[in-house]
Amino acid sequence: MSVTIKDVARAAGVSPSTVSRVITKHSTVNKLTAQKVRKIMEELEYHPNIIAQSLVSKSTSTIGVLFPKTAEQLYMNLFFIEVIRGIFSETTASMYDVLTTTGATIDEELQATMNLVRGKRVDGLILLQSRVNDPIIQFLQAEGFPFVLIGRHVQDDSLLSVDNDNVKACYDAVKHMVEQGHERIAFVNGPSDLVVCKDRQAGYEQGLKDAGLPIRDDYTLDGSQFSSFQAVSTFMSLPERPTALIVQDDLMCMDLIRTFKEMHIRVPEDMAMISFNKMSIGGLVNPTLSNIDIDIFQLGKTAVELLVKQIRSEKIEQCRWIVPHQILSRQSSVLGSS
Amino acid sequence: MSVTIKDVARAAGVSPSTVSRVITKHSTVNKLTAQKVRKIMEELEYHPNIIAQSLVSKSTSTIGVLFPKTAEQLYMNLFFIEVIRGIFSETTASMYDVLTTTGATIDEELQATMNLVRGKRVDGLILLQSRVNDPIIQFLQAEGFPFVLIGRHVQDDSLLSVDNDNVKACYDAVKHMVEQGHERIAFVNGPSDLVVCKDRQAGYEQGLKDAGLPIRDDYTLDGSQFSSFQAVSTFMSLPERPTALIVQDDLMCMDLIRTFKEMHIRVPEDMAMISFNKMSIGGLVNPTLSNIDIDIFQLGKTAVELLVKQIRSEKIEQCRWIVPHQILSRQSSVLGSS
DNA sequence: CTGAAAGCGCTTACAG
DNA sequence: CTGAAAGCGCTTACAG
């Protein structure tokens, strides 16, 4: 049915080996023969079978991306979109394809990963998330399979990873609020088994400490487990209401602002807010959102760069890459900034 | 290095053929031998090489998704996220992997598609967009390669496709505005070479006609070419300003609302608005966005279902599938609806 | 510079 | 039920 290397060889009056040589460009072929072969390839619309190439070359020009059960996991939704954009921009440039999988549970994720790796379907893998004691990381390490982690691994500093300095990022958010005169600063965090959330928690507490403010248990909430309404009521029913809020995600932040509005709590007058995961929408809403911009796009892009280097066994100068963050002051955290 | 079918065969004292038979489950194997082989496979942590399987079976258990140069194409951003969620939900269920590619230009997209198809890397393809005279569609048709179109093909009704009734959807949007008492209804559309935009334009005009309203050229704009500020000024400088706006996308709509606010034009009092591409954020902003909900998730999910059927040569009852839409009335288009 | 041969890891008629 | 053989489409030492 479809034309193979043999058809080309026959038509060109050479051996399959020679055709292969002009395809791979590794070895030298007589210029004229090469020309003839190329002409025939075009005439016959020959296109190498990548699967067959992979089988012998043992490489696929494909990298895998493991999506956390994204459908359910609204709470970091925007993060994934942006990171994917970064990944695509770099894979397109490096001529890699992207194979994606997911699983609804950790076990399914692990299963999916094993299928990709053991089935030799990808040359390397990007993990979008870092959990404490992540079985997937353990598997990949044991297998010696190339992968890059977006995030930080607690147990092992020698893993190839791209991350923000999340401790510092959240520290800076606290500092921003302190500079606005706030003393009661609360924090809506994500699931505590994610390293990124642990780090931000640490930065939050350090920030309070350095500002001479007390750390209060009732000022931290896992936002992934609460509706915005619950979160708001929890904070608002405290004897000492917070006056500033640091939130894990733009979407979550917008949801909180809406709820505040319904309760006639003004942002930023009664409650100053700043959130992570800067997205384009943050500038389109009212009030515009103050952000800790962690440059998610760059996170994805760098991850691919590192992975490709690792796959090609190029030298990598350092194994932990930090993408700088930036505080973006807008209306939701600064009085009279419209 | 990694364990192959031969290793298993040797360890189990059978031939590679037999091992293959217990893997594929097609043919009958003696229960006891099968058991023994399975045990050895586990002990050795054997996992079939999918690439090798693909080469002989000529199928990959992978479907391809062609992303339009998503990075640049902010204007339909939200659409893609949602459609991908739908695609993933169904591929996970059907045990297919998803291979993605993009290109920065149409030529690059075509090239990427040809690589996937001719390289035999995927069993079928999903196209996220339908252009007039799309060279990619022409290529796939010529090749006889399984694919599903999200959208509608103008020239050929026999293509397998999932779509909304976009004519009706936009017609309904006009009707909604007419029911609110509006007579000057403008339309911010997308690029006119997309079939979806053409269809909506037709629905828009038919809606006006049926309401006895004039069709005015200066009431339609290609929003993908204008900044929101330009769009707003264009409309606002008209001798007869529109009082209602139908917008192609939530994000674009939010951007317009922000610009209106800055110019002290109230939504919905001075300008009623409704947009396509319903996303979760639409309910989180102020005012909440009225939407024509086209159920993008379902669009993606159905596309996979159809493609899988086509790949497996199952019978498909009809080639055009229509996902129903729904008008969602919220604050941005209805007075006093808070 | 080029061809014949072996092999990548698997599957599948073909015999038995 | 099972094994030996051929083959999927390619690449790569090995000779020449």
pLDDT given at position A199: 94
Mutate to test the interface with B, among A259, A286, A297, A298 (most CBs of B within 10 A): A286
Tell me, in Å, how far CA of B36 is from C1' of D9? 33
pLDDT given at position B72: 42
Structure tokens at B312: 């497996």
pLDDT given at position B258: 83
**Could you tell me the CA-to-CA distances from B35 to A234, B12, B22 in Å, in that order?**
57, 10, 9
Q: B75: pLDDT confidence band, cut at 50, 70 and 90? A: very low
Mean pLDDT of chain B: 87
Residues A165-222 pLDDT 10s: 999 999 999 999 999 999 999 999 888 888 889 999 999 999 999 999 999 999 998 8
Mean pLDDT for A294-302 is 94
Residues A47-66 pLDDT 10s: 889 899 999 988 898 999 98
For residue B4, give the nucleotide whose C1' atom is nearest its CA: C9
Mean pLDDT for B49-65 is 91
- Residue B62 is given by DSSP the state E
Domains of chain B: 5-48 (1.10.260.40), 62-164+296-325 (3.40.50.2300), 166-293 (3.40.50.2300)
Residue type, B251: L
Largest CA distance in chain B: 89
Q: A73: pLDDT confidence band, cut at 50, 70 and 90? A: low
Nucleotides, chain C, CB distance < 7 Å: 1-5, 7-13
Q: A75: pLDDT confidence band, cut at 50, 70 and 90? A: very low
pLDDT given at position B199: 94
- Are the beta carbons of A166 and A226 closer than 8 angstroms? no
Residues A88-146 pLDDT 10s: 889 988 888 899 888 778 888 888 898 889 888 999 999 988 887 889 999 999 888 99
- Are the beta carbons of A254 and B281 closer than 8 angstroms? yes
What crossing angle do the helices spanning B296-311 and B77-94 adopt, rounded to 10°?
40
Q: B132: pLDDT confidence band, cut at 50, 70 and 90? A: confident
- Does the C-beta of A138 come within 7 A of strand D? no
Closest residue to D3 measured CA to C1′: B15
Q: A293: pLDDT confidence band, cut at 50, 70 and 90? A: very high
- Does the C-beta of B16 come within 7 A of strand D? yes
Strand locations in chain A (E): 62-68, 97-103, 124-127, 147-150, 161-164, 185-189, 220-222, 244-247, 272-275, 290-293, 320-323, 326-328
Does the pLDDT at position B74 exceed 50? no
Does the pLDDT at position A227 exceed 80? no
Mean pLDDT for A218-243 is 84
CB nearest A120 (choices: B49, B115, B261): B49
pLDDT given at position B27: 67
Does the pLDDT at position B16 exceed 80? yes
Tell me, in Å, how far CA of B17 is from C1' of D1? 12
Higher pLDDT residue, B47 or A251? B47
Closest residue to C7 measured CA to C1′: A56
Rounded CA separation A99/A120 (Å): 12
Q: A287: cis peptide before it, omega within 30°?
A: yes
Rounded CA separation B246/B220 (Å): 10
Chain B hits for A99, Cβ within 8 Å:
62, 97-100
- Cβ contact A281–B52 (<8 Å): no
Tell me, in Å, how far CA of A7 is from C1' of C4? 17
Closest residue to C13 measured CA to C1′: B17
Structure tokens at B154: 């103008």
Higher pLDDT residue, A337 or B244? B244
Q: A74: pLDDT confidence band, cut at 50, 70 and 90? A: very low
- Cβ contact A258–B285 (<8 Å): yes
pLDDT given at position A338: 52
Tell me, in Å, how far CA of B63 is from C1' of D8? 21
pLDDT given at position A71: 41
Does the pLDDT at position A294 exceed 90? yes
Does the pLDDT at position B257 exceed 50? yes
- Footprint of strand C, using CB within 7 A? A 13-18, 21, 27-30, 33-34, 52, 55-56, 58; B 1-2, 4-6, 16-17, 19-21, 23-24, 26, 48-49, 52-53, 55-57
- Are the beta carbons of A186 and A214 closer than 8 angstroms? no
pLDDT given at position B337: 61
B326-328 vs B290-293, strand pairing mode: antiparallel
pLDDT given at position A72: 42
B272-275 vs A147-150, strand pairing mode: unpaired
Q: B268: cis peptide before it, omega within 30°?
A: yes
Residue A87 has, within 13 A of its CA and on its CB side, a CA count of 29
Higher pLDDT residue, A132 or A294? A294
pLDDT given at position A131: 81
- Does the C-beta of A155 come within 7 A of strand D? no
Closest residue to C9 measured CA to C1′: B52
Residue type, B152: R
> How far does A92 lie from chain B, in Å, by closest CA?
7
- Does the C-beta of A4 come within 7 A of strand D? yes
- Cβ contact B102–A115 (<8 Å): no
Percent of chain B surpassing pLDDT 90: 43
Mean pLDDT for B232-256 is 88
> How far does B136 lie from chain A, in Å, by closest CA?
16
- Are the beta carbons of B74 and B89 closer than 8 angstroms? no
- Are the beta carbons of B188 and B231 closer than 8 angstroms? yes
Residues A154-174 pLDDT 10s: 888 788 999 999 999 999 999
Rounded CA separation A334/A329 (Å): 7
Q: A24: pLDDT confidence band, cut at 50, 70 and 90? A: confident
Mean pLDDT for B5-9 is 90
pLDDT given at position B206: 97
Residues A260-292 pLDDT 10s: 888 899 999 999 999 997 776 777 788 889 999
Does the pLDDT at position B287 exceed 90? no
* Torsional class of B222: left (φ above 0), alpha (ψ -120 to 50), beta (otherwise): beta
| Residues in contact with A249: Cβ distance below 8 Å, sequence separation at least 6, in sequence order | A75, A76, A77, A78, A79, A190, A223, A275, A276, A277
Sign of CA dihedral B273, B279, B283, B284: negative
Higher pLDDT residue, B225 or B253? B253
Higher pLDDT residue, B338 or A98? A98
| Residues in contact with B164: Cβ distance below 8 Å, sequence separation at least 6, in sequence order | B294, B295, B299, B322, B323, B324, B325
pLDDT given at position A27: 67
